[in-house]
Amino acid sequence: MDAQDWIRLLEMEAHPEGGFYKPSFRSEETAAFHSGEKALYTSIYFLLESGEVSHLHRLKSDELWYYHAGSPLTVHIIGADGAHREEKLGLDVQAGEKPQVRVEKGSIFGSSVDRPDTFALVGCMVAPGFEFEDFELFTQAELAEAYPQHERVIKRLAYKELK
């Protein structure tokens, strides 16, 4: 199947950070967390095509990424300590890919598909559960001031200005 087949069959829609998504699961159990009562976890399907990026953003919760189909996906992470790392989400473990990747809460992160003419389909689980009020997008100017040492990734993955 190609990207458009997955988007259509999973009934995905455009995501504000880039790519396409479809909520898949939301815990019926809740608990009090950082910004009020939250679902214990939420999960989505997320699809990104070559030439697109998931723009740099931050969540107040941990996010676990799971590889499903297509090409590997690179998750670019600027941790709370300011260090940048890239995690390859895919099944070629011998080449350094991982079937699962964790993005720690408070990290700034985005993703890309580095192979041409393809896509990556992944799952993302957020715990405590995702709410858009806990989602923060960044501009290049905001991040360049805080992390000038990561200019290359910021120019590639951050919005020039928020839409």
Query: Which of 58, 57, 64 minimizes the C-alpha distance to 102?
Result: 64
User: What are 73's two structure tokens?
Assistant: 């996906």
Place of tokens 């996010």: 63
Residue 98 has pLDDT above 90, yes or no: yes
62-89 mean pLDDT: 97
What's the average model confidence in pLDDT over 67-96?
97
The amino acid occupying position 16 is P
pLDDT at position 163 is 65
Q: Is the pTM value of this prediction over 0.85? A: yes
Work out the percent of the chain whose per-residue pLDDT is above 90: 91
Residues whose CB falls within 8 Å of the CB of residue 132, separated by 6 or more in sequence, listed in order: none
pLDDT at 94: 98
DSSP labels, 28-43 = S-EEEETTEEEES-EE
Least confident of 10-19, 34-43, 79-88, 139-148: 34-43
Which residues, including other chains, have CB under 8 Å from residue 6's CB and lie 6 or more apart? 12, 47, 69, 119, 121
Residue-averaged pLDDT of the chain:
95
Which region among 19-23, 26-30, 36-40, 154-158 has the lowest average model confidence (pLDDT)? 36-40
What does the pLDDT average to over 21-43? 91
Give 81's contacts (C-beta < 8 A, 6+ positions apart).
Answer: none
